Amino acid sequence: MAAVQVSEAEKVYILHGIRDDLRVDGRGCEDYRHMEIETDVVSNTDGSAKVTLGHTAVLVGIKAEIGKPRPMVPDEGYLEFFVDCSANATPEFEGRGGEELGTELSNTLYKVFNNKHSVDLKSLCISTGEHCWVLYVDVLLLQCDGNLYDAISVAIKAALFNTKIPRVHISADDEGGKEIELSDDPYDCMRLNVENVPCIVTLCKVGHRHVVDATLQEKACSVASLIISVTHKGMVTCTRKVGGGSLDPESIFEMTEAGKRVGKALHAPLMKLLQQEESLGKKHQKVGFLG
Partner 1 sequence: MAADMRLPTIRKPVSLSVSAFDRRDLVVPGDIITSDTGFMRGHGTYVDEEKLTASVAGEVQRVDKLICVRPLKTRFNGEVGDVVVGRITEVQQKRWKVETNSRLDSVLLLSSVNLPGGELRRRSAEDELTMREYLQEGDLISAEVQSVFSDGALSLHTRSLKYGKLGQGVLVQLSPSLIKRQKTHFHNLPCGASIILGNNGFVWLYPTPEQQEEEAGGFYTSLEPVSLSDREVISRLRNCLLALAAHKVLLYDTSVLYCYESSVQHQVKDILKPEVMEEIVMLTQQKLLEQEG
In the complex, the smallest distance separating the C-beta of residue 13 from partner 1, rounded to whole angstroms, is: 4
69 or 259: CB nearest partner 1: 259
Q: Is 44 in the site for partner 1 (CB under 8 A)?
A: no
- Residue 132's nearest CA partner among 182, 46, 65 is 65
156 touches partner 1 by CB under 8 A: no
* Residue closer to partner 1 (CB basis): 32 or 78: 32
- Which one of 23-31, 80-88, 97-105, 228-236 is the stretch in contact with partner 1 (CB under 8 A)? 23-31
137, 192, 265, 275: residue in contact with partner 1 (rule CB under 8 A):
265
Name the phi and psi angles at 266, rounded to 5. Answer: -75, -35
Closest distance to partner 1 from the beta carbon of 46 (Å): 21
**Binding-site member from 8, 175, 184, 250 for partner 1 (CB under 8 A):** 8
Q: Given the rule CB under 8 A, which of 4-12, 80-88, 103-111, 123-131 is the region that contacts partner 1?
A: 4-12
Q: Residue type for 256, please? A: T
Question: Which residue among 1, 17, 83, 148 contacts partner 1 (CB under 8 A)?
Answer: 17
What is the sign of the dihedral through the CA atoms of 211, 217, 222 and 227?
positive
Q: Which positions touch partner 1 (CB under 8 A)?
A: 5-10, 12-13, 16-17, 19-20, 22-28, 30-38, 52, 261-262, 265-266, 269-270, 273, 276-277, 285, 287, 291
